Structure 1
Amino acid sequence: MRILEAAADTLMPHVPGLSREDLMALLELPPRPEMGDIAFPCFTLAKILRMSPATIAIDFADKLNIPGSNASVEGIRAVALGSYLNLFFEPKIWGLRIATDATKPKYGSSHAGYGKRVVIDLSSPNIAKPFGVGHLRSTVIGSALANLYAACGWDVVKVNHIGDWGTQFGKLMEAYRLWGNEDKLAIEPIRESLRLYVRFHEEAEGNPALVDAGRDWFRRLEQGDPEAERLWRYFVGVSMEEFERVYARLGVTFDHTLGESFYNDKMEPVVDELRAKGILEESDGAQVVRLEEEGLPPCLILKSNGTTIYPTRDLATAIYRKTVMDADRMLYVVGAEQALHFDQVFAVLRRLGHEWAVNCEHVPFGLMKIQGKKMSTRKGKVVFLDEVLDEAVQKALEAASKSNLHPDEAIHVAEAVGIGAVIFGDLRGNRMSEIDFALDEMLRFEGDTGPYVQYTHARTVRLIEKGKAAGITSLHLDGLEVFSSVSTDGWACLKTIDSFPDAVRDAVRLNEPSVVARHLLDLAKTFNRFYRNERILTNDTTESASRLHLTEAVGAVLRIGLGLLGLRAPERM
């Protein structure tokens, strides 16, 4: 049992009017270690018990500290500090429990979402456009959330909603007709497609007829024109090959990859339902759903020429995910600039009477910038993610080559560290914060970086190997007394380990992977402080075994946490 849960169970018989869940929500961490391990504010009970908070704290402390009483709990000491009741946990008892629990498989997991399914929409790049650094955020945030939800017992379905439909394909087809080169496309299909797309927009600024030609190509595609379909299938095929290669490097997989085109035959029933329920109205020739009561502008459903638009497609998508994929919850990991779009789509679903729309949630994130500037595909201002990963791995390989690693192992480690640095660099901060991409900063082995956490994990592995070589392992532990001499730094490590399940739970509750990333940084820093101040292997076998057990627990939590975020945990660096 973890100390937070033990604190709640200890206090429950003495706190009238509070459920266990409410009680746990009130528990706090004292501002300084010498003030205890868990603090309970007694203000909530003042009215119920008709006593001052300070008096309640003293009364509770007296009851909990009576040896042999029903209120007394072994290894927990209560102290009244003003209006707070603070609990001190004995390391010699709780340290071993915490370390032993942390080394069990799937530590930090729970069954909170058991029996429920969440469909997560993530990544969703556009066909015939490069997989740039700008696509990284949706991909790694969504993948981390999928891992975290699965750890909390949810049945997770990951969907890559590929942008494979729309007028941009008509533009690309017209550009290919005018300036395309089959040989160049065969050699570098994505880069050549980008060049054509950029040139189209440059030429269109002085030649509006190009835009009309692009629209005509898309009209031909919608009507099943053989040449338009041939070009569309070509661009889709080469793009998916490129995407899959990048996903493999990131370690990201999907349960379904469904393009926007998949929903072409599913939009008409949505429009018919909107008409049948009297929700669809004409506005300047277009068809809209008015959302004034929701405080939102009208949601465009059909253009004046009768064609559908993004909201129509996303309505059909949501209904499909509910009725066919059987989603209990839907997450859309998409940039913050699309907030209004999703507000409108969810509002229209509610207008249709779909009560489950309350379980649809947009998970926004801030922009990824390069040197403070936003990227733009139309202007060709794109940094290819594959090139960034190559550079990150190369820089990590330069560092690994200076170690004692075998060349083949160095390459494996460099791939894990380089790509891990990029992923962690995205996830370490609040997802709503903008990121100014700085690769050198992400690759540092000190500070708030992925390599720092990975290196700390490798350090724990090395220490355990040294212990085994000296004939000392955590198996030498003999009874509870083994943790009787835990230092302040060691106890701080154990308490950080103990709160890891809370970090996983909070990351899911907030849809915020950075909660786990920051927790891993805290654990790595706490352990490295312990490592600097304490000798792990001493002449005392019991003491060494105790510290190795703590080290093993730290390594286990770092490995699990890194895996949840999508990083590998090398054993040597």
Structure 2
Amino acid sequence: MNNKEIVAKAIFDVVKDDLSLEQVEQLLENPKSVDHGDVAFPAFSLAKVYRKAPQQIAADLAEKIDGQSFEKIEVVGPYLNFFMSKSMISEKILKEIMTQKSHYGDSTIGNHGKVPIDLSSPNIAKPISMGHLRSTVIGNSIGFILEKIGYEPIRINHLGDWGTQFGKLIVAYKKWGSEEAVKAHPITELLRLYVEFHEVAEKEPELNDEARAWFKRLEEDDAEALSLWQWFRDESMEEFNKIYTMLGVEFDSLNGEAFYNDKMEEITNMLEEKHLLKEDQGAEIVDLSAYDLNPALIRKSDGATLYITRDLAAALYRKRTYDFAKSIYVVGNEQSYHFKQLKAVLKEMGFDWSDDMYHVRFGLITQGGKKLSTRKGKIVLLEEVLNEAIDSANEQISEKNPDLENKEEVAKQVGVGAVIFHDLKNDRMNNFDFNLEEVVRFEGETGPYVQYTHARAMSLLAKAGYTETTNADFKLNDEASWEVIKLIQKYPETVMQAAEKYEPSVIAKHAIKLAQTFNKYYAQTKILTEDDQKDARLALVHAVAILLKEDLRLLGLKAPNKM
């Protein structure tokens, strides 16, 4: 139970004839100052019932409430201010976390429900840029958070692995490419060929006809076309996987656009059977005026299907395959309208499970306030940013701790972690500015700061020769430890809030606050002093280390024991 629940129960036992437990809980407030206690109850709401002044009601309640969970209950005008029993709550919380360890804050609310998460989704034969970072790390973190409350996440990388660009690539490869060049630098070479195709096609437009012909062969399962397509895809995935390995992201499915080629006809047939397809200037649409939306274009006049047709097929496939409890699409804010149309068409088709589909939107990464790009207007490669972050971490670790074992591995964990954390500490809907120097700092609200605090806690435990126990006296009653205890106590609530909002920043902000509060405690308290509270103080340090590591894990970061 958190502090509000403890206070609500104590008040409810006295006012149960007049207010429900839920009503009491809703009336409770967090005082602005610690001088006014931990929880406050305004007595105004009982004035009509008891026909007394709120000040008098507050005074009467204070006399009747069972005070065993509180150090004191103060009456200040119409308010009852509750000061929680620090020693009682610290003992309860520390025992809980010593028993449950990293499972503290776990829940079974998800009831093993499957949750497909559509994330990352780069295009084959094109590099993974910083633009792909947000979808990848937000989706990965949401997977960990939902897993903690009892769901089964299914991470899907819906690859951009189909379309006319493959006809262009095949033409370019056959004219100007070589197997050796593609194998040596797959993405760079395939991108070079793609760019060359466009440059030449400006002067020789007949190249576009060749590309269309090759893509048609690909659609008709021509052996040579399919073989080249598969090879381009495999080579690209090998390159992508280097970056995913650096980020620590793993996928359960790589079913991309190509996978749904043979599944779209069923969708168009269903729409026809349900009389939802209407002709409009030779194209076929679904009217969505009932939803205040523009018509959804399902099939062009030349018979070609569109993104939405493919996404309808993907949604139906995922429902049939996983029978999902909810289905999540971690895709940029600019795709909002597409997902509104997608859900509306599914609703029109009679699929009420479309209500369980959620578009988890996010803002842009900017640099110097502008949309991310280098001076030449080229994309910023994610791999280059990660490598620069690792180098920066390496330099700082070499200065701080030159004799650190496995320094290279720790630099990777800190550098990559810094980039991920910087993204996730921002509310996902906000745009944010990226400056590598600020990102990999060991001070301030950064990933390295949280990791360093975890390492500091572990170092302190090692110095103390600490051994875990659940039998020690865990009572703490000083103000500095109380601030830390309150953050630990709020953790299950924090996890639930992050899951309900699909918002990893809730976890990142908890990690920053816990690290800051612990460092303040560390500065004010002689933790290793031999007295009757030493075991309790060390248990608190251990609890902080456990939760910081778990916070970092939920964000997709590692927590080195030494830095």
- Classify the TM-score, shorter chain: over 0.9
Distance 2:352 2:159 in 1: 27
Q: How far is 1:33 from its partner? A: 1.3
User: Which runs of structure 2 are paired with 1:444-523 in the superposition (5 Å)?
Assistant: 444-468=441-465, 475=469, 478-479=472-473, 482-484=475-477, 486=478, 488-523=479-514
User: Which runs of structure 2 are paired with 1:227-246 in the superposition (5 Å)?
Assistant: 227-246=224-243
User: Which runs of structure 2 are paired with 1:344-363 in the superposition (5 Å)?
Assistant: 344-363=341-360
Distance 1:141 1:50 in 2: 53
Distance 2:178 2:210 in 1: 19
The counterpart of 2:265, out of the listed 254, 263, 268, is: 268
**Residue in structure 2 matched with residue 12 of structure 1 by the alignment:** 12
User: Which runs of structure 2 are paired with 1:116-265 in the superposition (5 Å)?
Assistant: 116-203=113-200, 209-265=206-262
Q: How far is 1:196 from its partner? A: 2.4
**Residue in structure 1 matched with residue 313 of structure 2 by the alignment:** 316
Task: State whether residues 2 and 98 of structure 1, in contact with CA within 8 Å, keep that contact through their aligned partners in structure 2.
Answer: no
Distance 1:430 1:50 in 2: 46
Q: 1:73 to 1:543 in 2, by over 3 A?
A: closer
Identity of aligned residues (%): 46
Distance 2:247 2:291 in 1: 40
Give the 3-state SS of the residue equivalent to 1:401 in structure 2: helix
Distance 2:372 2:201 in 1: 20
Task: State whether residues 367 and 373 of structure 2, in contact with CA within 8 Å, keep that contact through their aligned partners in structure 1.
Answer: no
Q: How far is 1:96 from its partner? A: 1.8
Distance 1:184 1:213 in 2: 23
Q: How far is 1:9 from its partner? A: 2.8
**Residue in structure 2 matched with residue 33 of structure 1 by the alignment:** 34
Distance 1:17 1:278 in 2: 56
Give the 3-state SS of the residue equivalent to 1:141 in structure 2: helix
Distance 2:220 2:173 in 1: 20
Q: How far is 1:219 from its partner? A: 2.2
| CA deviation profile, 1:228-250 (whole Å, cap 9, x unmatched) | 21221111001111122221221
Q: 1:369 to 1:502 in 2, by over 3 A?
A: same
Give the 3-state SS of the residue equivalent to 1:164 in structure 2: coil
Return 27-36 or 126-135, whichever deviates more: 27-36
**Residue in structure 1 matched with residue 81 of structure 2 by the alignment:** 86
AA paired with 1:172? L
Give the 3-state SS of the residue equivalent to 2:120 in structure 1: coil
Q: How far is 1:322 from its partner? A: 1.1
AA paired with 2:537? R
**Residue in structure 1 matched with residue 279 of structure 2 by the alignment:** 282
Return 129-138 or 32-41, whichever deviates more: 32-41
Q: 1:51 to 1:176 in 2, by over 3 A?
A: farther
**Aligned: 1:548 with 2:543:** no
Q: TM-score, normalised by structure 1?
A: 0.91
AA paired with 1:509? E
**Aligned: 1:571 with 2:555:** no
**Residue in structure 2 matched with residue 559 of structure 1 by the alignment:** 549
Q: How far is 1:532 from its partner? A: 1.4
Q: 1:365 to 1:253 in 2, by over 3 A?
A: same
Q: How far is 1:116 from its partner? A: 2.4
Task: State whether residues 113 and 151 of structure 2, in contact with CA within 8 Å, keep that contact through their aligned partners in structure 1.
Answer: yes
Give the 3-state SS of the residue equivalent to 1:183 in structure 2: helix
AA paired with 1:7? V
Return 82-91 or 221-230, whichever deviates more: 82-91
Q: 1:273 to 1:528 in 2, by over 3 A?
A: same
Task: State whether residues 322 and 328 of structure 1, in contact with CA within 8 Å, keep that contact through their aligned partners in structure 2.
Answer: no
AA paired with 1:223? E
Task: State whether residues 186 and 239 of structure 2, in contact with CA within 8 Å, keep that contact through their aligned partners in structure 1.
Answer: no
Distance 2:94 2:456 in 1: 17
AA paired with 1:543? Q
User: Which runs of structure 2 are paired with 1:420-439 in the superposition (5 Å)?
Assistant: 420-439=417-436
Return 161-170 or 418-427, whichever deviates more: 161-170
Return 17-26 or 388-397, whichever deviates more: 17-26
**Residue in structure 2 matched with residue 68 of structure 1 by the alignment:** none
Q: How far is 1:533 from its partner? A: 1.7
Distance 1:369 1:513 in 2: 20
Task: State whether residues 472 and 536 of structure 2, in contact with CA within 8 Å, keep that contact through their aligned partners in structure 1.
Answer: no
Task: State whether residues 204 and 211 of structure 1, in contact with CA within 8 Å, keep that contact through their aligned partners in structure 2.
Answer: yes
**Residue in structure 1 matched with residue 379 of structure 2 by the alignment:** 382
| CA deviation profile, 1:286-330 (whole Å, cap 9, x unmatched) | 111111121111111111111111100111111111122110101
Q: TM-score, normalised by structure 2?
A: 0.93
Give structure 1 stretches of 5+ with no counterpart. 65-70
Give the 3-state SS of the residue equivalent to 1:113 in structure 2: coil
AA paired with 1:99? L
| CA deviation profile, 1:373-413 (whole Å, cap 9, x unmatched) | 43589x97222222222121121111222344646511121
Q: How far is 1:209 from its partner? A: 4.7
Task: State whether residues 474 and 546 of structure 1, in contact with CA within 8 Å, keep that contact through their aligned partners in structure 2.
Answer: no
| CA deviation profile, 1:96-134 (whole Å, cap 9, x unmatched) | 222222332211111221242222111111111112211
CA RMSD of aligned residues (A): 2.5
| CA deviation profile, 1:235-268 (whole Å, cap 9, x unmatched) | 1001111122221221111222211111112111
**Residue in structure 2 matched with residue 537 of structure 1 by the alignment:** 528
Give the 3-state SS of the residue equivalent to 1:348 in structure 2: helix
Task: State whether residues 117 and 326 of structure 1, in contact with CA within 8 Å, keep that contact through their aligned partners in structure 2.
Answer: yes
Return 343-352 or 225-234, whichever deviates more: 225-234
Q: How far is 1:550 from its partner? A: 1.4
Q: 1:214 to 1:50 in 2, by over 3 A?
A: farther
